[in-house]
Structures are given as C-alpha cells and as structure tokens.
Amino acid sequence: MSLKKISRALISVYYKENLEPIIHQLAKQDVEFISTGGTQDFIEKLGYAVIPVEELTGYPSIFGGRVKTLHPAVFGGILYRRNDEGDLNQAAEFKISAIDLVIVDLYPFEETVSKGGSKEAIIEKIDIGGISLIRGAAKNFNDVLIVSERTQYQALLELLMLKNGSTEITDRKHFAARAFDVTSHYDTAIFKYFNQGKEIPSFKTSFKQGKVLRYGENPHQQGIFYGDIESLFDQLNGKELSYNNLVDVDAAINLVSEFNNETAFVIIKHTNACGVATGADVKEAYLKAFQADTISAFGGVLASSRKIDLGAAEEINKLFFEILIAPDYDAAALEILKSKKNRIILKQKQILSAKKQFKSLLNGVIEQDLDLKTDSKEDLKQVTKQAPTTEQIDALLFASKICKHTKSNTIILAIDGQLLASGVGQTSRVDALKQAIEKAGAFGFNLKGAVMASDAFFPFPDCVEIAHQNGIEAVIQPGGSIKDKDSIDFCDRHNIAMVFTGTRHFKH
C-alpha cells in the first residue's frame, strides 16, 4: 500500500518560524521526535519529549557542529527499504529504527554571501548533514516524506491534517521533487561562488520561483518567467504581465536607469525607444518624449525616473498604453491612472542587479557580461578640428545612452534632453540613418543643430555626408574603422564636430 503512517520524525531546521503548528499536529498523531541542538530545545519547550540525535548515534556533535547526523543510525533509518527483506534483516541486526518524516532546511549560504559575510562565515554555511539528509530522504520517497525548506511547512501541515498523519506515494514523490529542486539550487549557488572567475567553463544557473504566463511571444508558444518579479515591483493595477510585457518592461527600466540623476521619461515599443526625454518635471519629460513619435507610443510601455504627480498623470492618461513604471505615484495621480482596469501600473522597488545575460541558441547557451558601460565626458576623444560645444557634449552623451539600448544597426538623432528620431535594427548603418531622418521629418522636427549617435563605427563617410546634408552638427561614435580618416576629413571640411568613445554598443 502506498499510504504510510508517520511514526518517527527527524527534525533539524535553521529557521523555526511556523514550525510550531507542525510539532503540535505531529504530537497529536503520536509521532516520535528525533532532533538536536536548537531544534531539540524548541520542541522540548513546547512540552514534548525528544530523542537526541547524539543518543541515537552514540556520538556527540563534533568538529564545531560539522558532524552531527552523519551516522548509519540516522541514515540507515531513512534509507532502508521497507519492502526489501535484506534491508529489513540488516535494520533488525543493527537495531536501526525507521524514520518516516524528515524536516530539514539548509544553512543560509546565499544570504550569507549576499550580505557580504567573511570567507570563513560563508564556508561554514555550506551545509553537509542537512543536504545529505534531504537527498537521502528524497531518494527513498517510497517510504519517507521529506520537507526541505520552510516554504513547504504549510503544505505539510495541511497534508497531516487531511490524511491524519499518513502520506501517499504521490505526496512523497512530489515533496521529493521539491527537495531535489532545493538541493540543486543550493549546489548551484555554491558552485557559482567558487567559480566566480569562470575558471571552469560550465554554465549553471537556478531560479527557484517560476510563473506560468498566458503564453510566450505568440499565442501558440508556451511561456514561463523564472525569477522573483514581486521583489522588483508592486503591481498596483491591471492584468497579469505577459511574456512580451516582461521583455518590454526590462528594456524600459534598463534605459530609464541611465537617467537616475535626472527627471526622465521613456516610451518603449518592441524593446526600442520611440520616445526619451528629460525635463524640469515628469509632465514636461513625458510630453517631450511623446512628441518624438506620437504613433508608436500607442500601446507602449512607459517608464519614469521620478514619482508620477497629478499633472503628469492627467497628460499620460490621454494615451492608450500597456504599462507604466515609476518609483512612486501621488494618490490623486494613481486614481486617474487606474481608471482603465487592464492598464498595468507598476511601482519599482529596486534597481536591476544582474551583471550577466544569457540566452539559448544552437542547442546550447551563450553568456556574456551585461553592457554596463555608459559613455561619459571623460571617454570622449575629439578627432575633428571643430570641438563640440558644452551643449553639444550634453546632447551627444544623451543620444549615446539611448543608442546603447537600441537594436543594431542603430542611429539616434537628438538634441540635449530629447530624442528626435531613431533608426533601429537595420542591416546597414546608412539605412538606419535614412530611417531616422525620414521619421524626424514625419513628426515635424528640424534637424538643424541636432546631434547623431551611432552604436558602431562608420566604415565609410556616407553617414556623415548624409547627416551634414540634413543639418547635423555633431557626431558621437566608437571609432575604430580603418577608414575613420575619411569620415574625419569630411567633418573637418564641413565644420562638423565628431568625438570617439572607443566603446561599441551593439545590441542584437
């Protein structure tokens, strides 16, 4: 029979929160307790007898607590097969009693690393006995129920109450799967700590939380998000975030984070910016951003670097958009913005902390450092006779920030504090520039005095020639072409200022 009564439980946990109801329920069902250390004290203070692990093994806790449960009396009780005659005979021979339930959690290794613990403290938080108990109990799920972290306490309590202290094979197998999820995540975290220099070229990552999405990029594709979205945002209104929503939200907050020290507003469509601006307040920044492309903004993803006030909300509310992200909202502003029930309103609680990015391709995974380099004044190398003015330098750096977050090949046309137009995802840089120029004209912008940013070098002088014909007066680009001199010479003949950054910003 797959239904098994729990008679003995081994309990040894780091976190005691929410454990008490489980202890009471097990005691009510006449379960015998085995424990050690702080957990033993906890159970005894609740008024229940405990068999100390040391009594079971005949050994005290040794080596500073590194060895407590690693003993046949413990692991034998967990691992011996109740339906195997040989195992039963050996259990009787060595006086090993069955353990039917194991409740163990692991030392907080990840938390210790994230809080900047010393090397000694981090190493001591590598659990040995706990993870061995979890793996052993999970392996023998035919006979043993394993509870491997505190998030499972409520499910255990409900199971104990529902089935009066018994479990079925489906219950035990489910908890075993969750146990191996816990141990694999834990081992991945330890490996990544030891392999920070990437000396071992092995790709491992783990996210313990997952959320099934309505669908993937298209309705016929399944989609799942792995990660803790709730630690980043409070969702204040609207429907569930979709796959495409999440991709655009990522693009929006990465771009708007370039302007943390300014009041900035970003409008994203299919991961590319169709509007970016800074302003004296959020309302001004939004209106300038919207001005760049009043068509593409429809159904877009919006992000602000500052709290949304009433004046900004009144303007933003006139637009149909999918998502708005901001660090906070005035109460009156939020009331207006929530007038559309499906409109997603997110309050961003923390900045992105990832330093790497990866994606699947060619039956494998490719990983790289995130492009965390933002071009600054110190990076600029004047390569033309004409020096950029202070105002042009500000505009060039503004354009460069947008360029970094736009699909290659890309050209950005801007003035200080406002995107005028962009050419995105083109197969040639000339096509990207022509697209940007056409778009700027379509929305009524005069490019006289504007600046141009390119994500990569110009292999020929054609782009600076076309830019000059349309009134562009300053250019920022990485440089590095064997024909850089051709572009420089053209700029010198036509009094165009050009600076090199030395950093390419391809984005595919």
Catalytic site positions: 139, 270
CB 100 within 8 A of CB 144: yes
With residue 465 as reference, give the H or E element that holds it.
helix 462-469
Burial class (CB in 10 A: 0-12, 13-18, 19+), 61: middle
DSSP labels, 119-140: HHHHHHTS-SHHHHHHHHHHHT
Q: In sequence order, which residues have a C-beta less than 8 Å from that of residue 197 and are 6 or more positions away? A: none
Round to whole Å and give the CA distance between 182 and 163.
25
| Strand 364-369 to 381-382 pairing | unpaired
CB 460 within 8 A of CB 483: yes
| Strands annotated E in 92-249 | 101-104, 145-147, 166-167, 210-212, 224-226, 233-237
CB 386 within 8 A of CB 492: yes
Q: Can you give the C-alpha Rg of the chain in angstroms? A: 31
Give the residue among 227, 174, 222, 223 at the shortest CA–CA distance from 205: 227
CB 460 within 8 A of CB 489: no
With residue 367 as reference, give the H or E element that holds it.
strand 364-369
CB 303 within 8 A of CB 252: yes
DSSP labels, 269-319: ETTEEEEEEE-SSHHHHHHHHHHT-TTTTTTEEEEESS-B-HHHHHHHTTS
Round to whole Å and give the CA distance between 200 and 192.
10
CB 141 within 8 A of CB 173: yes
Structure tokens at 173: 């197998």
CB 471 within 8 A of CB 448: yes
